[in-house]
Structures are given as C-alpha cells and as structure tokens.
Structure 1
Amino acid sequence: MVTKLKRFLIGRPMKTDELTEEKLSKLKALAVLSSDALSSVAYGTEQILLVLITVGAAALWYSIPISFAVLGLLTVLILSYRQTIYAYPTGGGAYIVAKDNLGTSVGLVAGGSLLVDYILTVAVSSSAGTDAITSAFPTFHEHRVMIALLMILTLTILNLRGITESATILMYPVYLFVFAVFLLIIGGGYQWMTGNVHAQAPAYGVAVPGITLFLLLKAFSSGCSALTGVEAVSNAIPNFRDSAPRNAAITLIIMGVILGIMFISISLLAYVYGIAPKADETVVSQIASAVFGRGIIYYFIQAVTSLILFLAANTAFAAFPLLAFMLSKDRFLPNMFMVRGDRLGFSNGIIFLGIFSALLIIVSEGDTENLIPLYAIGVFVPFTLSQTGMMKRWITKKPAGWLLPFVINTVGMLTTLTITLIFLITKFSQVWMIFLFLPAVIFAFKKVNQHYRDLAEQLRIDLSTDKPEKKGSVIVIPVAGITQVVRNTISYAQSLSDDIVAVYVGFDEEEIKKMEEKWEEWNPGVRLITLRSRYRSIVRPLSKFIDTVEWKTSATDHVTVMIPQFITKRWWHNLLHNQTSLLLRAYLFARQDVKITTVPYRLKK
C-alpha cells in the first residue's frame, strides 16, 4: 500500500544512467532558478513603500530614486555572479567561493546563511502567495497558514518527482507571470500616457519633513529584498546541460534583465497611480485594480501573481539539496544528504527543506512581513562573503584583465556589506535571532565534521599489518521457552560453533524447575543455564551472566548473543506481543565487546 502510494506521488524509480536526462535547458532553468528572484517583484516595491509611509504619503516619491539604486545594485550582483559562474563551474556559489578563498570557517558562515535563507525562501514565498490569494478573496485570510502549508506540501511532492519534471510543470506559470506583469506595465503605461490616471501622485522632488538618511537607508535595504534569489543560478550550475557554465551565465543575464525591467516599472506605476501600502491588499493588486478594474484581467494577474509567489519557493527546492550535498560531501552535514532518491534528486534535502519551512510558517503564523528582514539577512551575508572571496581570488591569481572584475566585486562587496549593516541596525528587533541561530548552525557543522574525522581515525587500518584476528566464538542464546523459534536459532548456532549455551530467566522456582525438566526431555545438545530474577527483569540477570562469560572468554573468543525472534505475518500482530528481543538488542548495542545476532523465524499465518 505504501509503495503504491509512493509510486503514485513521485513516479517510477529512475536508473542512474538517466541522470544526464535530468539536466536543464536554459528555458527550463530560467523558470526553476529565477522564480524566487522574479517573484520578488510582487513585494519588493511594497517593502520600500511600507518604510516611507511612516513619514506620510508625500514621502512616497522617494521610492523612485531608491528603486533605481536597487536596480544599480542588481546590475553589480549579476555581473559579479557571472564571474563566479566561470571561476567556479562546479556550483556551490558563495559557500565554495568563501571556503576556497577565505577559509573553511567563513565558507561555513556563507553556507549556513544560504541554508537558512532557502528555508526562509520557502516560508516567505508560500506566505506571500497566500497574501495574494487573500487580497483577491479576503474571506480566506483566516486560513492563510493552512493554505501556505498545502503549498509547501505540493512543492515538496513535485520536486521529489525530479528536477526535469518539476521544471516542465513550473515553466508555464513562471512565463505566464512574466506575461502578466508586462501586460500590467503596458496597460498602466498606456493609461498614464493617455491621461486616464485619476489618482493624485505625490509631488516629485519636494522635501518632506521627517525624512532622514537613516529612514532612506532603511527603505533602500527593504527594497533590496527584491534581489533575493539572484545567487541561485551560480549555486546550481551542475543542473544545467553542457556547456553548463555558459548556459548558466546566459540564464543569469536574462533573469537580471527581466527582473530589472519589471521591478523598476512596478515602482514607477505605484508612484504614478499614487499607491500606498495597505494591510489587506498588496501593491500589485492595487495597481492592477486601478489599471484594469476588478474584471477578468485583474483576477488573471492576481492568480498568476499568487502562483509565482507560491512557485518562488521552487528555487530553494532546486538549490538547497545541491548545497546540502556539497556540505555533506565536505563532511559538514550527515551523509544522507548525498543520497539520490528514486527520481535521482537529493530527496532527503527536499524533505528536510519542506519540513523546516512548514514549521517556520506555523511559528510565524504566515506573517510575510516579519519573515522578510530575516530572509534578506540570509541573502546578503553570503552576497558579501562571495564578493570578498572573489576580490581575494583576483588579487591572488592576477589573471589577464583582472582589474575590472576586481572593481566590480569591490563595489558589490561594499554595497552588500552596507545593506547588511543597515538591516542589522534598522531591523535588529526582527533579525536578532540570526545571532543565535547562525552560530548554532556553524556549531552543528563543526560537530558533524568532528564526528566524521573521529570515525575515520578509528576505522582506518594499516593494510600491511592490520589483519583479521582469528578467534573462537561463544554463543549465548536467550530463550523464553521451547518453541520452533528456539529450535531454529539453535540449529543455526550449531552450524557456527560448538560452544553454545542457552539461558533462561525465570521469576519463581517452580517455573524454572519445569523449564529444566522440559529441556532435559527435549535434549537439543545445548547446555541450559537457568537464572532467577527476583525483580521480574529479564535484561539485568542476562546482562550479568554475559559479563561472566565475557570475563572468562574475552581473551580467546568472541562472545555472541544470538536472539531468537519470530516475524509476524501482519504488522498489527506485533502489537499483541512483548518486544523483549528489541529491548535486549537495544541494551546490548551499548556493550563494547559483545556481538549481537538476530535469527528470524517467519510465521505463516
């Protein structure tokens, strides 16, 4: 039943040699890897306006120069990450760049920030998608957490089906969103040029009392949330078809151009139409309503906007498992993140991302605004470290024509560092937890790595001297009675050793006497030792007996505890039996010099 459900949800298992077919074309990669960046158009301008409106509607004109400043930073980041793609064609983005140039610890800060960011990406995107739905249908507002969780579950299952299949499905809504936004831009621009805009735009260039440099920097940093997801292409280069670096670089440029046009156009339309942020309606919804009215085009734009915000999380589902794979390969995350699933994706990373983002939605109650500052910090820390790493690379290697790339990375580093500091200062009450969470993540990385190094040291052998040591074997068989299960276990033990002892633990003398008599009558050729348990415990007396056997034989023989266990035909039959064998096995696993063997006997009905 479980297998059939799994096959229905994620499809048939794929062969390893089908991996080449899972590589993405530029058209599909743009849909999968840029959905996060493109979707930020839906809330980037709004984040600027939310800061400016605190001074008054007259201050909203500042959104235009701030938006152009964000556009300038986008250009720098696109050029910088294009260089990263060619310098590090194996992918990994900020983690690999920082680790290679600035050291492992700095690389872990970048990698940990990105992992946190991808979890936040899924949470923010699903929350923002829910906001778009509730803007059009306010009655759903109280169910926004459940809607967001259903979105995450859908994306998790979709990505477990494989990156190519998910890209094929996601390609259409992403390009529909681009079409819808350009339809909005063209329609809004036409209305403005023909004089059909009836709203009063704030006077441009007029000084507004209460505006400070601090406030403008805060608005700029908030608007930079539109740049989240830009790094995803450089992280996921291995997902591209050959030549992967060239295809990734072209995809990055196309994404940057589309994002830049859409973001600055939405900001201009918001200004022209005098849009101010509302608690129950998004800025894009207000613009669409002003341009087209609440007709079919409005609902089309709202539908594809909510869909792209929901699908923006897919960028994280494409990049998180790959980054987790690289950290796991470097022994900073558990080995399970290196395992490919039935559909050749890193399924453990996909499931982990889905679970943690869902928990974040529940904790934050689906409030996008509270998540975005933390989300942006998770982006700009890796941005800064990546630019710094590339600066060091150019200075160290000094290839031909290195000066211009160095200048680009320097400008990028100074800008992203400034934005990071602005976020930390202006939104400290919302991002303070990063100072607890990120060190905890780095500490976990270090502990995992230490475990793997300790493990390697203990398991490593010298091929010339470390030969297997030949020993005899003393087999101890715990028995609860004389049954087919015990007979089966003794038969197997006799094929391995002549030194076998059965141990029976009884709770009273009469019970023990009956067992001894029946054993003598049966006479299986194995000696029976009976133990009295005054406190009705089986494990404790048996453990003391094993200690005695181990003390007498450890120098010359292995001590093996061979546990008889019957396997029921139906899973629920297990609920009807005491799981003594499981308890005994769990206890003995902690023993250093005792070997444990379970001998199953399968029941037929």
Structure 2
Amino acid sequence: MFKTLKTFLLGEPLKSELEGDSHALTKLQALAMLSSDALSSIAYGPEQVILVLIALSEGAIWWSLPIGIGVLVLLISLTISYSQIIHAYPNGGGAYMVSSDNLSPSMGLLAGGSLLIDYMLTVAVSVSSGADAITSAFPAFKDSNLEISIVLVLILMLMNLRGLRESATALFVPVYFFIISILFLLICGLFQIVTGNLTYTATAHIGQPISGLTLVLLLRAFTSGSASLTGVEAISNAVPFFKKPKAKNAVKTLTMMSAILGAMFIGITFLNYWLGIIPNHNVTILAQIAQKVFGHSFIGQVLFYLFQIATALILAVAANTGFSAFPILSYNMAKNKYMPHLYLEKGARLGYSNGILTLAIGAICLLFILTVPLNV
C-alpha cells in the first residue's frame, strides 16, 4: 500500500541511466526553477527603500533613483562574480565550496551552515508571504494562514521529490506569468508617460535638497533595497542540474535572470518616483502602481487582478529556490563528512530526496515556532 501511494504521489521510479543530459534542465526550465526567490523580491524590495526614506520626508523619495542605480551596480557585480564561480566550481556548492577552498574549511563550514539555515528561513518566510497574499484575496481564510503555509511547503516538497523536470514544469507558469505581468506593467506605464497620459506627481524633483538627510539613512535604504538581490546565488549552487555544457548554460541563465531582475527593479523604482506613491499599510506600493497604470476601467480592473494573482503566485513558489539549492549544498557538505552520508543518496526520482525532506520538515517547524506563539 505504501509503495502504491508513493508511486501515486511521486511517479514511477526513474532508472539511473536517465540521470544524464536527458533528465537535466534547459535554460528556460532552470530560470523558472531557480529564479523564483530572486524575482519575487520585486514584490517588496523597492518598497523597502521607500519605507526607509519616507521616515525622514516624502520629498526624500527621489533618492530612491540613485539608490536603485546603486543596487543595479551591485547586481551587475554579483552576476560577474557568480559567473566566475560557476566556471571555477562546475559541481556547485557556491559560497561553501569557495570559502572552503580559498579561505579555510572552518570558514567554508560557517558559510555552508549559514546557507542551510538561510534556505529554511527563506522557505518559511516565502510560503508565509504567499499565504498572506492568498488570505488577502480571500479574507474568510485569514485565520488559516499557518495551515495554508504548511500545505504550500508540502506541495513544493512533493514537486521536488518528483524530480527536476517535473518541478521546473510546475513552476513554469507562475514564474513566467509574473515576469510577463511586471514587464507589461512597466511597458504600459512608460508608454503612458511618453504619451502624456500618466501625470507627473512626484513628491519632489530630482536634486531637491532634503533637510536632515544623512549618509547613514541612505546606506540604510540601500541595504534595504539590496533585499531584492536575495536568491541570486541559487544558480551557482545548482550547476549540476543544467544540460551540457553545464557551466555555459548556467552562466547564460544567471545573466538572463539578472537582466530581468535589474530591469524590473529600476522600472518599478522609476514608476514609483514618477507617480509619487506613498507606502500604505493596507496596499503594497506595487499594487498602487498597478492601480494607477491600469486605471479603473473594466479592462483595467481585470488587468489589475491578474497582476495581483501573478504576484501572489510568485510569492507562494519563491520558496522553491531553497528546495533547489539546499539538497545540492547538503550533498557537497556530506561529501566532506560535515553532514550524514544519507544526504549523498538519491531517491527514486533521481533527486537528493533526504535533503528535500529535511528542508520541508525544518521549514514547517519554523512556521510553528514563529506562528503558534502569536496565536496564544
């Protein structure tokens, strides 16, 4: 009975000879599977910059433009650095392997352990954000956030246990739906600006002096905006998942992801400045931009709700980056005897299933720890 249930949930076991290039990911599949965490940060990253600046003055919002350029420069630097890491470490491992080889084993262990914890936290926070987006659209389920979050973790776990290609296929729609939605929003917004249909309502002109502005505040806003770069390292950790030539395809995928992420971040930052949008506790900045760009016509409302659905979906599946990177990192650490050997073993669907299960269990425990006390 257990074997029948396992086959029903995960599919028929795959033969190990299928593990080669036929079971690996194309660039488009890898982009869907490994970029969800980074791309989802667009839903909150630009807003974090504004929240810091608005604490001083509404007029300080224009500083989000140079800060956005700074974040873009940092993204380019990270892309170049991770491209070099991909070529130097084609077996994956990312920061763990780089620190171990170039600093010391203890520094590598510190980096690896930090990343393992980070991936668990990423899964817990991402599914919680996805659950919040779902319950915001359906308030009747507001008291079931924890249950929805756990269900999302279990769905992602099953997807990844079914294998690389299956999970990449499942993520294809939400990730590319979000990319198309954001790019469509930016194109519509810029077109309306050029044609004069989107009024300039910025809170202050570029270059206007702001009383009380300090370097510390600007650096705080920059670090908050850099949250949009979370997940950029995931591709360098998962090079073995790619079709041959693995390193070359991984670098191309990383470049595509960075280009999309950079265009989204700077575009949302510019539209927010142009429209002079102020953070609202009940409505995100991204939603406010979509409302103003799409308007209040019937078609505009349809586009707005489709946009919100795309945002909710990307937040819900953002956790999959952790499910992609955690198992391969566990494998590399187990290979160096820092973790049990069971993390070296592959499951029936040729994935590192023990790493996937550990991540899911850890994330669910974190959800209980973070949520249950709040309900007492």
Query: Same fold by TM (over 0.5)?
Result: yes
Higher strand share: 1
Residue in structure 1 matched with residue 255 of structure 2 by the alignment: 253
Residue in structure 1 matched with residue 95 of structure 2 by the alignment: 94
The letter of the residue matching 2:318 is A
Residue in structure 2 matched with residue 15 of structure 1 by the alignment: 15
Correspondences of 1:575-586 after superposition (within 5 Å): none
Residue in structure 1 matched with residue 63 of structure 2 by the alignment: 62
1:304 to 302, 306, 310: 310
- Residue 155 in structure 1 maps to residue 161 in structure 2: no
Offset at residue 335 of structure 1 (A): 1.4
Q: Is the 1:13–1:343 contact (alpha carbons within 8 Å) kept by the matching residues of 2?
A: yes
The letter of the residue matching 2:245 is S
2:215 to 213, 216, 232: 213
Q: What's the CA shift string for 1:17-72, capped at 9, x where partnerless?
A: 12113211111111111111111111110111121221232222211111110000
Cα distance change of structure 1 residues 212 and 252 upon mapping to structure 2, 3 Å threshold? same
Identity %: 50
Residue in structure 1 matched with residue 84 of structure 2 by the alignment: 83
Q: What's the CA shift string for 1:307-326, capped at 9, x where partnerless?
A: 11111211111111000011
Residue in structure 1 matched with residue 129 of structure 2 by the alignment: 128
The letter of the residue matching 1:344 is L
Q: How many residues end up aligned between the 2 structures?
A: 366
Residue in structure 2 matched with residue 116 of structure 1 by the alignment: 117
Residue in structure 1 matched with residue 289 of structure 2 by the alignment: 287
Correspondences of 1:120-519 after superposition (within 5 Å): 120-198=121-199, 200-204=201-205, 205-293=207-295, 295-365=301-371
What is the distance in 2 between the residues matched to 1:289 and 1:334?
A: 51
Cα distance change of structure 1 residues 240 and 233 upon mapping to structure 2, 3 Å threshold? same
Q: Is the 2:43–2:286 contact (alpha carbons within 8 Å) kept by the matching residues of 1?
A: yes
Higher helix share: 2
Cα distance change of structure 1 residues 34 and 358 upon mapping to structure 2, 3 Å threshold? same
TM-score norm. by structure 2 comes to: 0.93
Cα distance change of structure 1 residues 182 and 74 upon mapping to structure 2, 3 Å threshold? same
Offset at residue 79 of structure 1 (A): 0.5
SS at match of 1:73: helix
Offset at residue 198 of structure 1 (A): 4.7
- Residue 32 in structure 1 maps to residue 33 in structure 2: yes
What is the distance in 2 between the residues matched to 1:135 and 1:298?
A: 15
Offset at residue 137 of structure 1 (A): 4.3
What is the distance in 1 between the residues matched to 2:215 and 2:136?
A: 33
Offset at residue 199 of structure 1 (A): 7.0
The letter of the residue matching 1:325 is Y
Offset at residue 291 of structure 1 (A): 1.4
Offset at residue 3 of structure 1 (A): 2.5
Q: What's the CA shift string for 1:185-216, capped at 9, x where partnerless?
A: 01111222233335731113222233221111
SS at match of 2:225: helix
Offset at residue 135 of structure 1 (A): 4.5
Cα distance change of structure 1 residues 61 and 127 upon mapping to structure 2, 3 Å threshold? farther
What is the distance in 2 between the residues matched to 1:327 and 1:222?
A: 31
The letter of the residue matching 2:311 is T
Q: Is the 2:193–2:199 contact (alpha carbons within 8 Å) kept by the matching residues of 1?
A: no
Q: What's the CA shift string for 1:62-86, capped at 9, x where partnerless?
A: 1111111000000000001111111
Cα distance change of structure 1 residues 197 and 138 upon mapping to structure 2, 3 Å threshold? farther
The letter of the residue matching 1:228 is T
Residue in structure 1 matched with residue 108 of structure 2 by the alignment: 107
Cα distance change of structure 1 residues 160 and 241 upon mapping to structure 2, 3 Å threshold? same
What is the distance in 2 between the residues matched to 1:88 and 1:201?
A: 46
SS at match of 1:84: helix
Offset at residue 138 of structure 1 (A): 4.6
Q: Which has the larger radius of gyration?
A: 1
Higher relative contact order (CA 8 A, sep 6+): 2
Offset at residue 271 of structure 1 (A): 1.4
What is the distance in 1 between the residues matched to 2:371 and 2:215?
A: 33
What is the distance in 1 between the residues matched to 2:367 and 2:270?
A: 32
Q: Is the 1:63–1:267 contact (alpha carbons within 8 Å) kept by the matching residues of 2?
A: yes
Offset at residue 89 of structure 1 (A): 1.2
Cα distance change of structure 1 residues 53 and 127 upon mapping to structure 2, 3 Å threshold? farther
Cα distance change of structure 1 residues 92 and 134 upon mapping to structure 2, 3 Å threshold? same
What is the distance in 2 between the residues matched to 1:53 and 1:139?
A: 33
What is the distance in 1 between the residues matched to 2:117 and 2:282?
A: 28
Q: Is the 1:123–1:360 contact (alpha carbons within 8 Å) kept by the matching residues of 2?
A: yes
- Residue 51 in structure 1 maps to residue 57 in structure 2: no
Residue in structure 1 matched with residue 73 of structure 2 by the alignment: 72
Structure 2 residue ranges without an equivalent (≥5): none
Cα distance change of structure 1 residues 284 and 135 upon mapping to structure 2, 3 Å threshold? farther
Offset at residue 302 of structure 1 (A): 0.8
Structure 1 residue ranges without an equivalent (≥5): 367-605
Offset at residue 301 of structure 1 (A): 0.8
Cα distance change of structure 1 residues 3 and 244 upon mapping to structure 2, 3 Å threshold? same
What is the distance in 2 between the residues matched to 1:146 and 1:198?
A: 43
What is the distance in 2 between the residues matched to 1:352 and 1:292?
A: 43
Q: Is the 1:136–1:299 contact (alpha carbons within 8 Å) kept by the matching residues of 2?
A: no
